[in-house]
Amino acid sequence: MSLPDLAWQVMYGRLAWAIVAATVLLAPLPAARTLSGRRFAALLAGLAALFLLPGAASPAHWLGLAFQYPSGLLVACCVLQLLRSRRPARNDTAVMSPVLASVIVAAGTILYLDAMGLLTQGYYYMGFGPAGAPALAVLGALGCVAAIVAERARTQAVALLAAILLFSLLRLPTGNLWDALLDPFLWAWAIVTLAVLAVRRAARHGAVAAPVQAPAPLLVPDAVGVTIEHSSTIKEHVSGS
């Protein structure tokens, strides 16, 4: 097991939290699409400079105390989300797809239950393993490359491949494979994505299942007290009488 150098961890934490903050603050804003490239770059540079301040002057210092480091996958997804906010969306550019969100929610639930002692299988510590973790990283990287070549889920494959390479080459953020692929913010993002999709599907299903009721016919009493339909059949009623 090899851990990343502390200086690399500190630098990664500063830049990673800056990217996450920029995504949270800028990506949802409609005005971000209308900003010129220079202004958008200036905003990013300003946030990066703020988070690169030394010691407790940096917001990353306090975020790191509370949440440690963002995962490499979260940082990669945030970068892609920022890029997506600057150009028209395409079908393949949805960063948090339903498949990726489902995998993240399932893996995160298992790991967090294990960390709380409800499973006690030591799944998190397997991410430090000298054989299993590198083998899983290699298989994951090969799968990402295959998906990119086949042009299937390329956005998600690029983000996952970037996180795996960050772990494989620099052992960031902590030397544990799971920390490179998962963190509480990414897990919450995936949960919100699935919840929104479930609500939308339920709304569509309810709209389709609701029967379309025809308006009730207007009933008009005739002169002798017999109720007849006020429609085109009135002529037939009159002629028959």
Domains of the chain, residue spans: 6-209
Q: What is the mean pLDDT of residues 169-190?
A: 95
Q: What is the mean pLDDT of residues 96-100?
A: 94
Tokens 């990726």 label which residue?
100
Average model confidence (pLDDT) across the chain: 85
- Give the CA distances from residue 25 to residues 6, 47, 76, 78, 189, in Å, rounded to whole numbers and listed in that order: 28, 10, 16, 11, 15
Residue 215: which pLDDT band, with cuts at 50, 70 and 90?
A: low
Q: Is 227 helix (H, G, I), strand (E, B) or coil?
A: strand
- Residue 117 pLDDT: 83
Q: What is the mean pLDDT of residues 96-112?
A: 95
Residue 231: which pLDDT band, with cuts at 50, 70 and 90?
A: very low
Q: Is the pLDDT of residue 83 over 50?
A: yes
Residue 225: which pLDDT band, with cuts at 50, 70 and 90?
A: very low
As given in the structure block, the two tokens for residue 112 are 């967090």
- Between CA 130 and CA 128 the distance in angstroms is 6
pLDDT top residue among 93 and 113: 113
Tokens 């494979």 label which residue?
177
Closest CA to 74 of 37, 119, 21, 116: 21
Tokens 């699409």 label which residue?
33
The Cβ-side half-sphere exposure at 193, using a 13 Å CA radius, reads: 18
Q: What is the mean pLDDT of residues 6-23?
A: 95
- Residue 226 pLDDT: 44
- Between CA 144 and CA 72 the distance in angstroms is 15
- Residue 90 pLDDT: 54
CA distance from start to end of the chain: 99
pTM of this prediction exceeds 0.85 = no
Let me know: does 190 contact 105? Beta carbons within 8 Å: yes
pLDDT top residue among 48 and 85: 48
pLDDT top residue among 205 and 135: 135
pLDDT top residue among 114 and 231: 114
pLDDT top residue among 61 and 33: 61
Residue 210: which pLDDT band, with cuts at 50, 70 and 90?
A: low
Q: Burial code of 82-104, b = ≥16 C-beta within 10 A, e = fewer?
A: bebbeeeeeeeebbbbeebbebb
pLDDT > 70 in the chain, percent: 82
- Between CA 46 and CA 43 the distance in angstroms is 5
Q: Is 117 helix (H, G, I), strand (E, B) or coil?
A: coil
Let me know: does 197 contact 99? Beta carbons within 8 Å: no
Q: Is the pLDDT of residue 80 over 50?
A: yes
Q: Is the pLDDT of residue 224 over 50?
A: no
Question: CB 43: neighbour CB atoms within 10 A?
Answer: 15
Strand partners, 229: 219
